Amino acid sequence: MLLALGSGLLIAFRFSDSFESGTIKQLIFIVVATLVLTYIFIKVSLFFFSKLKNRWLLEYRWEFIAVFIVFAITGSTAGRISSPVMEFIGLDYESISGWLYWPLRIILIFPLYQILLLIVAWIFGQYKFFYSFEKKMLSRMGLGFLFKSKTE
């Protein structure tokens, strides 16, 4: 709720430049625009939550919160770790072209992210959800053979 309010306020401030600074018209515009944008952000967020609830089959709100925290921590960690790993293997932004550096970094982040996702998910008690999430995602990418059992 506070995030939606803050986002609405920032956007309202950006668009209030067309009014003379410090006038009552500008203040009214900022207040009304903030409230309208906050309402829209909350409605859109609730709509997406309901869609995800049906898709992910999570029962409790705390599970949603844990899943979002896992995604946030994993993405941030993978991004932070990839640069030192690139430097460790001798590839840094100054030594090779950006056209080569960024695709290599993304290719490096991908397996790192998959491993980190399961580790962080385990810490937050969401290993089962993320293991099936990864199986589904990697299977759609043509990497389903990584999860085939040896008895098949």
Query: pLDDT averaged over consecutive 10-residue blocks of the chain (152 residues)?
Result: 87 84 87 94 89 82 89 93 88 84 90 93 94 88 71 50
The angle formed by the CA atoms of residues 28, 39 and 67, to the nearest 5 degrees, is 140
Task: Give the DSSP letter string of 94-128.
Answer: TTS-HHHHHHHHHHHHHHHHHHHHHHHHHHTT-HH
Domain range summary for the chain, segments of one domain joined by +: 2-51, 58-147
Q: What is the pLDDT of residue 150?
A: 54
Burial 21-45 (b: 16+ CB within 10 A, else e): eeeeebeebbeebbeebbeebeeee
pTM metric for this prediction: 0.68
- pLDDT value, residue 94: 81
> In terms of DSSP H, where are the helices of 1-140?
2-15, 24-56, 61-88, 98-123, 127-140
* pLDDT of amino acid 43: 94
